[in-house]
Structure formats: C-alpha cells, structure tokens
C-alpha cells in the first residue's frame, strides 16, 4: 500500500489558504492566541481547532498554555526559513497574494523574519559581512570568522552566551522580497536586538515592519559599513 512521504503532509498543512495565513502571521516571532489566528485566517474561533491541530501534528507550530489561553508560535527558525523561501517562489512565479498597500514598501525595506532582520537592510548586512570577511561561507555551512567575532565585539555585541546555544551561530536565510540572503541564526538575532537596544529602529505595532529613524539608519550604516 502506497504511503505518502512526510513532505507531502507538511506541504498539505502549509498549502491550505487559512493555515498559510496563520503561519505568515507568526513569522514576526510573536505568540498569538487561537482566536487571533482565527481572525487572521478569516474563520470563526469555533472552526480553527482543526487547522491548528494539523499545524501542530506536522510540528510547524508549538503551543504554550497560560491560564485559560493557548498561545501559538512557529516551531522554530527552520520553519520561518522554509516559509520565507516559499514566499520567494510565490513572488517569482507571480502568484497573486494579498497586498498591504502603503506598508508593502516598508516590509520590503526592513522587517522582522522570526527574530532577525530581513528585507533590503537585512540583505545589506549580510553582503557587508561577506565583503569584510566576517562570514566564512562553505558549501553547506556559514560561520563567523575570527575577524567577524572581533568586529562585532568592538561594536558592543556580546557573543559569550551564543556558544551555549544549540542554535546555529550564523545561517543564511533566503529573503523572499530581495531573492538574496539575509543573516539568520544567533548572530542575526543579536544584530536585530542591537538595533532595538540602540534605538536605531523600532518595530511598528501589530506589524513585521522595522522602522529606522534617519539618525538610526545613519548609525546602522556606519556600524555595519552598509552602503
């Protein structure tokens, strides 16, 4: 008897329009309740349990219960990277998807991808790190070079705790809007946190958009030598 491979079940779970909308809403790293995800998917709270169960079954989301609420988030950075790549394929093939009007250029410029910086600004950081020799690119790996570690520490980014994490230090993530790589992994997360801590940028409420102030963008470009 034929048994479909696991990839078919994962693709089926993502491919439903309601579940796809839910997953995209979680791409900014927030945890959302079932009722909030039902609103995103355009369904009633009474009918969202089957959709969320499918996402849980395929380990695409995780759930945490606090009080009487259940909070859902993406199961990990690998799921976020998969969604970004699928969005890139959809964009390349001119698949019609909802537009967000005036916010769309802002999303393309700088946005949160799970917990790291994406869009034009994120790609610019990746390119700068490569050009300066801060990243060591292998055939299937990406690592921080000694000069990269030294450079980040000089900028005030603390790398001491990153070695204890089970998460990859550096990882390339294909940016769906730019069709090029931006920096993910622990270092990518640290770069975005640094931007927020320095008040160079802020995240817009209820949005994935990361908005840089004029002074913040100038400081960002100077620090990371971004053209």
Assign 43 a pLDDT band (cuts: 50, 70, 90). confident
Spatial contact of 36 and 122, defined as CB atoms under 8 Å apart? no
Tell me the CATH number for domain 6-75: 1.10.10.10
Q: What is the pTM of this model?
A: 0.70
Going through 108-194 in order, the beta strands assigned E by DSSP cover 111-113, 116-118, 135-137, 142-144, 171-174, 181-184
Polymer length in residues for the chain: 227
The tens digit of pLDDT for each residue in 108-138 reads: 999 999 899 999 999 999 999 999 999 988 7
Query: Residue 173 above 80 pLDDT?
Result: yes
CA-wise closest residue to 32 among 3, 24, 162: 24
In this prediction, residue 99 carries a pLDDT of 46
Domain regions of the chain by residue span: 6-75, 79-224
For 53: left if phi > 0, alpha if psi spans -120 to 50, otherwise beta; the answer is: alpha
Strand pairing report for 69-74 and 61-66 = antiparallel
- Nearest to residue 111, comparing CAs of 182, 18, 21? 182
């Amino acid at each position: 008897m034929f048994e479909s491979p696991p990839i078919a079940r994962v693709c089926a779970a993502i491919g439903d329009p309601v579940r796809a909308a839910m997953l995209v809403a979680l791409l900014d790293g927030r945890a959302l309740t079932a009722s909030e995800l039902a609103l995103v998917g355009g369904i009633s709270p009474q009918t969202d349990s089957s959709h969320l169960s499918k996402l849980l079954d395929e380990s695409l989301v995780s759930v945490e219960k606090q009080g009487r609420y259940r909070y859902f988030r993406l199961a990990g950075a690998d799921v976020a990277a998969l969604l970004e790549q699928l969005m890139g394929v959809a964009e390349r093939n001119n698949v019609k998807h909802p537009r967000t009007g005036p916010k769309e250029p802002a999303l393309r410029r700088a946005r949160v991808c799970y917990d790291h910086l994406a869009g034009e600004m994120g790609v610019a950081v990746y390119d700068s790190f490569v050009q300066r020799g801060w990243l060591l690119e292998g055939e299937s790996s990406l690592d921080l070079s000694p000069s990269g570690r030294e450079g980040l520490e000089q900028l005030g980014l603390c790398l001491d705790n990153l070695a204890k994490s089970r998460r990859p230090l550096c990882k390339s993530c294909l940016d769906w809007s730019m069709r090029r790589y931006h920096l993910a992994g622990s270092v990518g997360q640290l770069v975005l946190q640094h931007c927020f801590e320095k008040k160079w940028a802020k995240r817009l409420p209820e949005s994935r958009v990361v908005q840089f102030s004029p002074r913040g963008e100038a400081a960002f470009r100077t620090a990371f030598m971004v053209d």
